[in-house]
Amino acid sequence: MRRTPASLVAFAAIAMIAAPSAQNESNSRVAPAASAAPVKPVKEDPRAERLKGEAVKEVESMKDFTQQMVDSIFSFAELGFQEKETHRYLVDILKKNGFTVQEGIAGIPTAFMATWGSGKPVIALGSDIDGIPQASQKPGVAYHAPMIEGAPGHGEGHNSGQAVNLTAAIAVKKLMEREKLPGTIRVWPGTAEELVGTKAYFVREGFFKDVDVAMFTHVGNELAVSWGDREGTGLVSVEYTFTGQTAHSAGAPWRGRSALDAVELMNIGWNYRREHLPLDHRSHYVITNGGDQPNVVPRKASVWYYFRHTTYERIKELWGIGDQIAKGAAMMTNTELEATRVLGSAWPQHFNKIVAETTWTNIQKVGMPEWSDADQKLAKALQKELGSREQGLSLKVGGTNGDLQGPVRDNRGGGSDDIGDISWNVPTVTLRFPSNIPGLPGHNWANAISMATPIAHKGATAGAKVQAMTILDLVLKPALVDQAWDYFKNVQTKEIKYEPLIRPQDRPAIELNAAIMERYRSELKKYYYDPSRYKTYLEQLGITYPTVKQ
């Protein structure tokens, strides 16, 4: 439907609603029903539409900057807690652009909090940065073609979100400086999101205490936003370690006690119990230590579980069942269950109605990117390769119904994101931007294919336009922030209060993935993107776009 460039659509839309009578949203934006006190209506700032139009133009002019960030972080291909190159790269850009950066926050070497500006509102822009194991993939090639066999890669698309936020932040900062607008912009990374490993710690260490609104972005195949309870789950990620006794496995097996037996019996116990767990739960595990060699009875063995459910209480229940089964396995094998480790956690997500509505208005103004024939050819070839419906790329904004999505009614479970923890501490939304291809499995090489191509670049630019416009709305209309807090206090958290899933003794699991990255980093370095020599990463790799099976 939208065949004109996104920027033109945006300006046409802005021009159309520029008449003050038509753009006054305050009448329709009533305070939530459960409000304790009436909240001031939003007063339109006469500068808002003009400045938002300028911000869109500024973002459009920064598209090479955006593309270089998307491509660079793709090429680093770093796993959670080991995002060293990505961290350095982002911090350097932020500093160069006038941000003050606190590095290594919450005891996490690859986490930071960058700040620019002063006063209210304080707006915190976040997005994840880590990749997926085994997802190495040549971009722009519509079949499995690893760059490095077995290496990590951006098989979800977390290489694109910081480009969205930094582009928006820098564009808006320029306007705020010129117009002398009060307000503070923070930029922070969702470090180790694939391990849901950090955001609860950011909250615990007080990094969101003075934040007015958290604007999160996540890659998707749509330009969309939602409010209320989200589909999916929260989780706790727990490692169980058993200690037994070594012995010669053939010479004197009766002298040994096998920790691996305990791990296996725990898994068998859990899998029998699974039949009697609610259908909307999810649980899975990997054995992280299965012993040393067969002729030595394993003294130590560990298994790592994700317990997912749709509410905090039910996550705790699952966790309790896991602990009980682990104790049973230790008893059966006469081994000891060590103190458990929480390696990650996430609350179920709930997004703010007011911020989502504001974002949605801007999404409609920006519209979808204009996809080229080459973009569609890549998307359809990949969908064919995977046996998915050959639908190509999304053409209209919004969720599956093309609209702003409200609270999920029938939550059948699914994935998690530790943005959930932040969403229960400050008004938060996640903007999903269209840098990926519909119909993919997720956490897979296929999800990396578009992520350093024009699809990802255009999707990130569209996302940055929406972010920039929404920041300006929040800066210029303080009543929006008040309304967001009214919803947060009087609707969202009226009955449900945040309690962290991490325990006081838990610490970020910063050693995770160190060995894998150690193994692949020198090989990966050969493929780091060099924007000083190549316009795009595809050009550097010498890939014809798109490369599809004939």
Long-range Cβ contacts of 405-409 (<8 Å, 24+ apart): 405/224, 405/225, 405/226, 405/227, 406/226, 406/227, 406/228, 407/227, 407/228, 407/229, 408/228, 408/229, 408/230, 408/231
Choice between 156 and 229, CB closer to Zn ion: 156
Distance of CA 308 to the CA centre of its chain: 17
What is the total count of residues that contact Zn ion (CB under 5 A)?
A: 1
CB of 158 to Zn ion, least distance (A): 6
CB of 417 to Zn ion, least distance (A): 6
Q: Which is nearer to Zn ion, 5 or 414 (CB)?
A: 414
Residue whose entry in the numeric block shows the structure tokens 């040549």: 138
Binding span for Zn ion by CB under 5 A among 118-126, 150-158, 170-178, 379-387: 150-158
Distance of CA 116 to the CA centre of its chain: 23
d(CA 103, CA 83): 13
User: Which is closer to Zn ion, CB of 156 or CB of 239?
Assistant: 156
**Structure tokens given for 121:** 């509102």
Reduce the DSSP state of residue 512 to 3 states and report it: coil
Applying CB under 5 A, the span of 154-162, 288-296, 346-354, 391-399 interacting with Zn ion comes to 154-162
Nearer to Zn ion by C-beta: 156 or 222? 156
DSSP code, position 461 = H
Least gap, CB of 482 to Zn ion (angstroms):
31
Burial of 311 (C-beta count, 10 Å sphere; 0-12/13-18/19+): middle
- Residue 80 CB, shortest distance to Zn ion, in Å, is 11
Contact letters for Zn ion, residues 100-139 (x by CB under 5 A): ----------------------------------------
User: C-beta of 161: minimal distance to Zn ion in Å?
Assistant: 8
Q: Which residue, 52 or 199, is less far from Zn ion as judged by CB?
A: 199
- Nearest to Zn ion of 5, 415 (CB atom): 415
User: Residue 125 CB, nearest distance to Zn ion (Å)?
Assistant: 16
- Contact region with Zn ion (CB under 5 A), list: 152-160, 284-292, 399-407, 458-466: 152-160
> Which residues have C-beta within 8 Å of that of residue 348, sequence separation ≥ 6?
229, 230, 232, 233, 234, 310, 311, 312, 416, 420
Smallest separation, CB 65 to Zn ion (Å): 23
Closest to Zn ion by CB, 325 vs 429, is: 429
Span interacting with Zn ion, options 151-159, 352-360, 445-453, 501-509, rule CB under 5 A: 151-159
Q: Which residues of 510-549 are buried (b: 16+ CB within 10 A; e: fewer)?
A: bebbeebbeebbeebeebebebeeeebbbebbebebbbbe
Sequential DSSP letters for 347-380:
PPPEE-HHHHHHHHHHHHHH------HHHHHHHH
Measured from the CB atom, the residue of 129 and 517 that comes closer to Zn ion is 129
Minimum CB distance to Zn ion, residue 381 (Å): 24
Q: Which of 364, 436 has the CB closer to Zn ion? A: 436
Beta bridge partners of 229: 350
Cα–Cα distance, 257 to 244 (Å, whole number): 5
Alpha helices in 477-534 (DSSP H): 478-487, 514-525
Segment interacting with Zn ion (CB under 5 A) among 38-46, 148-156, 209-217, 365-373: 148-156
Query: With CB under 5 A as the contact rule, which of the stretches 19-27, 156-164, 369-377, 506-514 interacts with Zn ion?
Result: 156-164
Closest separation between CB of residue 334 and Zn ion, Å? 42
| Interaction residues for Zn ion, span 321-380 (CB under 5 A) | none
* Residue span binding Zn ion (CB under 5 A) among the ranges 14-22, 155-163, 164-172, 426-434: 155-163
Residue 125: beta bridge partners? 187, 215
Q: Which residues bind Zn ion (CB under 5 A)?
A: 156
